[in-house]
A and B are shown apart, each in its own frame.
Chain A
Amino acid sequence: MKYTFIKLFICLSILAFSFQDAFAQDGSSEATVQEEDRSKIKFNGLGRAILSQTGIGGDILNSDSSTVENNTDGEFLLDLAINAYPNKNTEVQSILRLRNEFGGFFGAGVSVEVRELWIRGVIAEIMKYRVGDMDLVMSPYTLFNSPEDGSINEPMVFQPQKQVIDYEQFYTDDNTRRLQGAKVDFGLDFARVLDDLDINAFATRIRGTDFFTTPTRFVSGGQAKFTTQTFDDSLGIKADVGLNLVHTFDDLQSGNANTGIRNTVYSVDFDVTVMEKTDMSVHLTGEAGMSNLATAERITNADGDRENVTLTEEDDSFLEVGATLKLKKQNISVSASFVDIGPDFFSVGAQSKRIDYTAEKSFYNRIGTDRGIRQPGLFDLTRDRSLYTFSISDRLMAYDPRYANTMPYGRATANRQGIKAGVEYGQAGESIHARVDAAFLKELRGQGTFELKNFTLVRASADFNIHQLAGLKKKLKATVGLQLESTSRGGQEIEKVDLNSNLIELGLEAELFSKFDFLVGAKLLQAEGQEYIPFIQNFNDVQDFPGAYIADDTESLIGVGFKYEFKEGIYLTLQYNTYSSELGGDNPNNYDLNQVFVLYNMKF
């Protein structure tokens, strides 16, 4: 069955190319053809200075004399982007980073590195290419960088630190992944049936070999997206269809490293406009596909020839199909979908998380008399860039069920079946923009038991531009985020799961003077109950359950500060954050963190 999609992909591609009226075009959204009067070299970039003082307190320090109670840290950096245009069809960019840690002197703590390097251009006025660093995204099940846990509608007061994380880890609003390699894309326009067709393909290397046990790893793939012309003018029927293919593989000729993985994911995604009228529209959307995961070894066969043999292999499928109704006059959008993602569905490009919960934290990684590793909390997720990663993991990463248990690996979370629904009111920037999403899912295959978990997730967010509602000249904006999550499982007492968590975000942004804002916000987490968190080995295999995960936690993060924006992209903010972690009542390991920081950020 896994070849069926490939055949389908090829057939549709041939079908598309067979139209006689097709002709090539640039087909790109990014302008790369340079104008005659453009400068040969341009400079821009980003400068940042951050200084922070972090302190720790609470019950855990009562018997812990080895933890430093205050820690001062900071950095100064300049990312200098140099764009060169050797000819009208070629552009080269290099970002050089100069960084100095706070307290560094006489060269200590100073680093100079290349942060980004790429070249791009157009071949024969038809095909665009890019070599070097690039940000790629396909569909949520193939290549996608899902948003991080612990954030719904981030209050503005916490956003400067999040923006630093996003910048450092190359996160974008389009959920792209930072990769290094080469890609090409081109487009075709059609006169009949199809409106246009865009095709892109890429090949990237995400890991080098150590020549002993770790082989070089590559991610390659491509996408063909086409839009049909309108079939019925009265209803506006048309379809946007994408065919996606991602193949992650190890080079088994990397020295002695001759065992590796093969992960292939292929899918078709579609957005069929069933009706498009002035007052409403109806869309049928979805994606369906399959994954194949195999381990392979390069051996010498009986004839003395080298060949790759498959050691293990598993396939599984996924399906998400739904409909969206947009009531344009009422400014309301309603959607519902059915999802079915197989237990063995595995997609490294879509399931790798932004947060690596096993990474070493920058501040107070170990605390207490036993020097235990501190569990990452809202404070860390909001500010600690060392917890974040853009790399693609070859196994399902660890997760914290308090922040995300229904879909810890984003929409591509395997072993889920159920219904999702959502309602959205307004648009970003309007006086009120609100959204509510819900998911009612269950496991398809049990973990440690035949009993299945049921998940309920409700996420709501709202932006209130009060100054628009009240007719004020200066900006006054309130934001709200809410996440209610419940996980349950029946069975014998030892099998039962009953974990509930609530995450609330509140934010207020008030412009006191021109471009001078007062910011205040809070994030509150409450989690209670029992769950079992699997220990994953070999891609997605549950090796063990280290023990029952029992939560009786309350976390609160409050931030207050000021922000002055000199101009767009250039701002200075001074903030105070206080954080409290209570891991059950009277727990001697409860602690508090607080920080004062000043951040100057400049894009030029």
Chain B
Amino acid sequence: MNKLFKFNIILFAFAALLFTACEHETDTFDGPNLVDRFGPFSVLSDLSASQPTVDFGAGETVFFRAAFNKNVNWVLEITGMESGSVKRIEGFSKDVLMENATWDGGTTNLPLFVAEECSVVLTIPEEPDYIGTTTVETLSTKSYANSGVLFTDFETDLGPDAFVGNFEFEFTSSTGRQSDMPAEGNSYFYLEGTDNVVPNFFVGLIDISAAVTGETYVPVSTTVPEDLYFNCFMFSDAGPHGLAIVDFIIDSNDSGAFEDGQDATYRVADYDLATWEGWRHISHPMSETGVSQEELEKLVGIRLLLISNMNSQPNPPLAVDFGIDFMIFTNGGPLEL
């Protein structure tokens, strides 16, 4: 028994040592890299583009290169010299290269890029003295039309598929298709007016029939409200009194057309035009409107309303306006710019 127990003790000791073998995870280190955090910064290779011109319409991309002696937070900002569009790419690395700095023609700040000369600026917030610059020319733009079901991009006259409801004659003559500052392509739709004839908040509207898509109902790729996203680009000059509304019209009476008062309408909310300036990408799942899956099969049109917030308007009231472009339905998420 004694020998056996001694043996057990030895076995126990060995087992304890074995089970707690000195193997630890040591192929990394804890915390941020000290050299990155506190080391001096230097540029090993300045900013350059992989090619001087790029044809996004043909599926080309362009990437940028730069190299530093340590990992840094960097910001690459591409600005269209003509459109004013901005694409921003950010990263944390020692090297700016194809894997982390490729541009496929997308946009961060609307409007979309056009065929134009673009300036490219690389900055490092922690190293304010550094700035890298280069240029790249876009020969054609990235196409978003195949990213979903395009409702309309206002590139052509909507004709009988659009009804402008200027019932109180409060729209100005500027209301209609314009081409001075489109977010995409060459045209957008502009609504402008003053609620000074019948002061009832309502300025005017435009009903756009699903017929613009060539179908009676909008041929959405999914009717699951949570999966179907509505996207559009909306312009505001940040005027303090305007509201925009986008109503989705359901053909409740199965007539194949929009009959006001008979068909149901859904909306997300009023867009307060005072809250941004310039073009803005608006996107939301259709589930936010409260529409059902069955109703989405009968999306017969979209109504755009211009509202003047008379509660905040001076006397006499001021004009309100907004622009809208590139209305598209996407599946599974917002339109990726």
Interface residues of A, Cβ cutoff 8 Å to B: 1, 4-5, 8, 192-193, 228, 231, 237, 239, 241, 268, 270, 272, 288-290, 316-319, 321, 340, 342-344, 417, 444-450, 492, 494-495, 532, 534, 541-545, 547-548
List B1-58 residues whose CB lies under 8 Å from chain A. 1-2, 5-6, 9, 12-13, 15-17, 19-26, 28-35, 37-40
A8 cross-chain contacts in B, Cβ below 8 A? 15, 19
User: Given A417-B22, A447-B29, A494-B39, A319 and B17 touching (CB < 8 A)?
Assistant: yes
Query: How many Å lie between the Cα of A494 and that of B26 in the bound state?
Result: 21
Q: Which listed residue, A239, A318, A543, A545, touches B34 by the CB 8 Å rule? A: A545
User: Given A239-B9, A445-B30, A288 and B16 touching (CB < 8 A)?
Assistant: yes
Query: How many Å lie between the Cα of A241 and that of B25 in the bound state?
Result: 29
A495–B30 touching, CB < 8 Å: no
Q: Which listed residue, B12, B25, B39, touches A343 by the CB 8 Å rule? A: B25
Given A317-B23, A445-B29, A495-B34, 20 other A-B residues pairs in contact with their CB atoms under 8 A? A5-B19, A8-B19, A193-B1, A228-B5, A268-B16, A270-B13, A272-B13, A288-B19, A290-B20, A317-B21, A444-B26, A446-B29, A448-B30, A449-B29, A494-B35, A494-B39, A494-B40, A544-B37, A545-B32, A545-B37
Closest to B4 in A: A193
A447 cross-chain contacts in B, Cβ below 8 A? 29-31
B30 cross-chain contacts in A, Cβ below 8 A? 343, 445-448, 534, 541-542
B19–A445 touching, CB < 8 Å: no
Q: Which listed residue, A319, A445, A495, A534, touches B28 by the CB 8 Å rule? A: A445
A268 cross-chain contacts in B, Cβ below 8 A? 12, 16
User: Given A319-B17, A417-B22, A495 and B35 touching (CB < 8 A)?
Assistant: yes
A321 cross-chain contacts in B, Cβ below 8 A? 17
- Greatest chain B CB density within 10 A among A5, A193, A288 is at A288
Closest to B37 in A: A545
Query: How many Å lie between the Cα of A237 and that of B2 in the bound state?
Result: 11
A449–B24 touching, CB < 8 Å: no
User: Given A228-B5, A231-B6, A547-B38, A542 and B31 touching (CB < 8 A)?
Assistant: yes
B25 cross-chain contacts in A, Cβ below 8 A? 316, 342-344, 445
Question: Would you give the shortest CB distance from B72 to chain A, in whole angstroms?
Answer: 14
Query: How many Å lie between the Cα of A448 and that of B30 in the bound state?
Result: 6
Closest to A12 in B: B12
User: Given A268-B16, A444-B26, A448-B32, A492 and B39 touching (CB < 8 A)?
Assistant: yes
Query: How many Å lie between the Cα of A268 and that of B11 in the bound state?
Result: 13
Query: How many Å lie between the Cα of A83 and that of B72 in the bound state?
Result: 66
- Greatest chain B CB density within 10 A among A289, A340, A344, A448 is at A448
Which 3 pairs from chain A and chain B are nearest by CB?
A542-B31, A448-B34, A446-B29
User: Given A268-B16, A344-B24, A494-B38, A544 and B1 touching (CB < 8 A)?
Assistant: no
User: Given A193-B1, A532-B34, A288 and B29 touching (CB < 8 A)?
Assistant: no
A1–B19 touching, CB < 8 Å: yes
Closest to A319 in B: B20
A445–B26 touching, CB < 8 Å: yes
Query: How many Å lie between the Cα of A495 and that of B34 in the bound state?
Result: 6
Query: How many Å lie between the Cα of A179 and that of B46 in the bound state?
Result: 61
A290 cross-chain contacts in B, Cβ below 8 A? 19-20
Question: Would you give the shortest CB distance from B76 to chain A, in whole angstroms?
Answer: 25
- Greatest chain A CB density within 10 A among B1, B16, B38, B40 is at B16
Closest to B23 in A: A317
Q: Which listed residue, B6, B22, B31, touches A319 by the CB 8 Å rule? A: B22
Query: How many Å lie between the Cα of A289 and that of B18 in the bound state?
Result: 11
A448–B33 touching, CB < 8 Å: yes
Query: How many Å lie between the Cα of A542 and that of B31 in the bound state?
Result: 5
User: Given A448-B34, A449-B29, A541-B30, A343 and B24 touching (CB < 8 A)?
Assistant: yes
B35 cross-chain contacts in A, Cβ below 8 A? 449, 492, 494-495
Question: Would you give the shortest CB distance from A414 to chain B, in whole angstroms?
Answer: 10
B9 cross-chain contacts in A, Cβ below 8 A? 228, 239, 272
Question: Would you give the shortest CB distance from B258 to chain A, in whole angstroms?
Answer: 42
User: Given A450-B29, A494-B35, A316 and B24 touching (CB < 8 A)?
Assistant: yes
B12 cross-chain contacts in A, Cβ below 8 A? 241, 268
A448–B21 touching, CB < 8 Å: no
Q: How many A-B residue pairs have CB under 8 A?
A: 103
B29–A318 touching, CB < 8 Å: no
B1–A448 touching, CB < 8 Å: no
B19–A448 touching, CB < 8 Å: no
A494–B34 touching, CB < 8 Å: yes
Question: Would you give the shortest CB distance from B22 to chain A, in whole angstroms?
Answer: 4
Query: How many Å lie between the Cα of A494 and that of B33 in the bound state?
Result: 10
Closest to A445 in B: B26
Query: How many Å lie between the Cα of A290 and that of B22 in the bound state?
Result: 11
Closest to A316 in B: B24
Question: Would you give the shortest CB distance from A548 to chain B, in whole angstroms?
Answer: 7
List B246-301 residues whose CB lies under 8 Å from chain A. none
Question: Would you give the shortest CB distance from A7 to chain B, in whole angstroms?
Answer: 10
Query: How many Å lie between the Cα of A318 and that of B39 in the bound state?
Result: 34
Closest to B26 in A: A445
B31–A544 touching, CB < 8 Å: yes
B17 cross-chain contacts in A, Cβ below 8 A? 288, 319, 321
Question: Would you give the shortest CB distance from A133 to chain B, in whole angstroms?
Answer: 34
**30 A–B pairs (Cβ distance < 8 Å), ordered by A:** A4-B19, A193-B1, A193-B5, A231-B5, A237-B6, A268-B12, A270-B13, A270-B16, A272-B9, A272-B13, A288-B16, A288-B19, A290-B19, A316-B25, A319-B17, A319-B22, A343-B24, A343-B26, A343-B30, A344-B24, A417-B22, A444-B26, A446-B29, A446-B30, A448-B30, A449-B35, A534-B30, A534-B31, A544-B37, A547-B38
B38–A548 touching, CB < 8 Å: yes
Question: Would you give the shortest CB distance from A318 to chain B, in whole angstroms?
Answer: 7
Query: How many Å lie between the Cα of A547 and that of B37 in the bound state?
Result: 9
Question: Would you give the shortest CB distance from A499 to chain B, in whole angstroms?
Answer: 15
B6–A544 touching, CB < 8 Å: no
A317–B38 touching, CB < 8 Å: no
Closest to B9 in A: A239
A544 cross-chain contacts in B, Cβ below 8 A? 31-32, 37
Query: How many Å lie between the Cα of A268 and that of B23 in the bound state?
Result: 18
A317–B20 touching, CB < 8 Å: yes
B32 cross-chain contacts in A, Cβ below 8 A? 448, 544-545
User: Given A268-B16, A494-B38, A449 and B33 touching (CB < 8 A)?
Assistant: yes
Query: How many Å lie between the Cα of A316 and that of B21 in the bound state?
Result: 10
User: Given A450-B29, A532-B34, A544-B32, A289 and B20 touching (CB < 8 A)?
Assistant: yes
Question: Would you give the shortest CB distance from A441 to chain B, in whole angstroms?
Answer: 13
Closest to A270 in B: B13
Query: How many Å lie between the Cα of A417 and that of B26 in the bound state?
Result: 13
Question: Would you give the shortest CB distance from A328 to chain B, in whole angstroms?
Answer: 25
B39–A340 touching, CB < 8 Å: no
Closest to A446 in B: B29
Closest to A284 in B: B13
A448–B16 touching, CB < 8 Å: no
Question: Would you give the shortest CB distance from A236 to chain B, in whole angstroms?
Answer: 14
List B105-141 residues whose CB lies under 8 Å from chain A. none
- Residue-wise, chain B 52-95 has the 8 Å CB interface mask toward A (1 for contact) of 00000000000000000000000000000000000000000000
A417 cross-chain contacts in B, Cβ below 8 A? 22
B28 cross-chain contacts in A, Cβ below 8 A? 445
Closest to B5 in A: A193
Question: Would you give the shortest CB distance from A590 to chain B, in whole angstroms?
Answer: 27
Question: Would you give the shortest CB distance from B7 to chain A, in whole angstroms?
Answer: 11
Closest to A345 in B: B24
- Residue-wise, chain B 297-319 has the 8 Å CB interface mask toward A (1 for contact) of 00000000000000000000000
A193 cross-chain contacts in B, Cβ below 8 A? 1, 5
Query: How many Å lie between the Cα of A579 and that of B32 in the bound state?
Result: 38
A289 cross-chain contacts in B, Cβ below 8 A? 20
A272 cross-chain contacts in B, Cβ below 8 A? 9, 13
A448 cross-chain contacts in B, Cβ below 8 A? 29-34, 37
